[in-house]
Amino acid sequence: MKNNQTPQKTINYEVFLEGVGVHSGERSAITLRPAQENSGITLLNKKFPNDLLQIGTVVPEQAMHATVLKAKTWAVSTVEHLMAAIHGLEIDNLLVEIEGFELPILDGSALPFVQAIQATGLKIQIEPKQFVTPKQTLRFEEQKKYIEIQPANKDNTLYFDYSVNFEHPLVRDSRMSGSLSPTYFTREIAPARTFGFLEQLPLLRKHGLAKGTTLGNTVVVGQEIVLNSQRFEDEFIRHKLLDLIGDLTLLGKPLAGTIIAHKTGHSFTRKIIEHSIQHPDQWEAFTSK
């Protein structure tokens, strides 16, 4: 490996986590296992062990409230918080063994995944880490929402500038910008929990969603008050950023470059993943800039 390259990483030992799915309300569990160089992130459903799902080869389904991935014979929902932890801690190779059809929501943030991974520690591998970036600026816009990715030109870092306005009196306009690193992710983004608006809960439940929602895994915003205590004053935008980072993990390799986004959610990130799979010639994979 050359001086300006970074080695790939996996975890030292296997890790087991279990809980309930926030939408299904059903028990689920995952076992994270170390994986060899250049194998990437692979999902395995224990009931369908021959139908592996390789991250970077699948476009997520069109789902509003969670990121859903489909293999040939099975599907899994709400993968974004685990994916964000993988991305944030810079893990390249990992096997995720799943029991159930939705990942456990745990406390609604990425922190339990981060802590479990940190407890095993990361194993440095021999092959150089690969990054991905679009060859030209990519932009998706719809009404007043947009996401833009500018190519990396001088380093492997992911820079971001994300802003939101929720049009709710308790959730003010906010904006976060900076660059992603394991320290920044662990401290500023990973602890931010899933949130929801109390008035939307009946509709979600009517559609069979949010069956596992509790105050233990979701920050609930009422008309006049937030029902639980918050971990950050601007926990909402931090969680939106967490979801964005998680969804970008589905590119299969860590994104380098600059993201500028306003009010975007899963449907916009989905377009980026779809673009990278449909137009691989317009993307570049590299080991260092």
3-state helix, strand, coil in the chain (%, to 5): 25, 35, 45
CB of 265 to Zn ion, least distance (A): 9
Q: Which residue is nearest to Zn ion (CB)?
A: 243
Minimum CB distance to Zn ion smaller for 1 or for 204: 204
Place of tokens 């929402």: 145
Residue 102 near Zn ion by CB under 5 A: no
CB of 10 to Zn ion, least distance (A): 25
Minimum CB distance to Zn ion smaller for 109 or for 133: 109
DSSP assignment letter at 199? G
CB of 72 to Zn ion, least distance (A): 26
Minimum CB distance to Zn ion smaller for 129 or for 240: 240
**Using CB under 5 A as the criterion, what x/- string covers residues 158-197 for binding Zn ion?**
------------------------------------x---
What is the distance between the alpha carbons of residues 211 and 227, in angstroms, rounded to a whole number?
18
CB of 103 to Zn ion, least distance (A): 11
CB of 231 to Zn ion, least distance (A): 14
The token pair that represents 282 in the structure block: 């317009």
Minimum CB distance to Zn ion smaller for 93 or for 194: 194
Alpha helices in the chain (DSSP H): 80-88, 111-120, 182-184, 201-206, 235-248, 266-278
Amino acid (one-letter) located at 48 = F
266-278 helix and 235-248 helix, angle to the nearest 10 degrees: 20
Place of tokens 């939408």: 23
266 is annotated as an active-site residue: yes
Alpha helices in 44-153 (DSSP H): 80-88, 111-120
Minimum CB distance to Zn ion smaller for 92 or for 243: 243
Binding residue count for Zn ion, defined by CB under 5 A:
2
Strands 158-164 and 257-262 turn out to be parallel
Out of 65, 266, 275, 279, the active site residue is 266
Strands 195-197 and 219-221 turn out to be parallel
**Using CB under 5 A as the criterion, what x/- string covers residues 219-258 for binding Zn ion?**
------------------------x---------------
**Residues designated catalytic:** 266
Residues of this chain that bind Zn ion (CB under 5 A): 194, 243
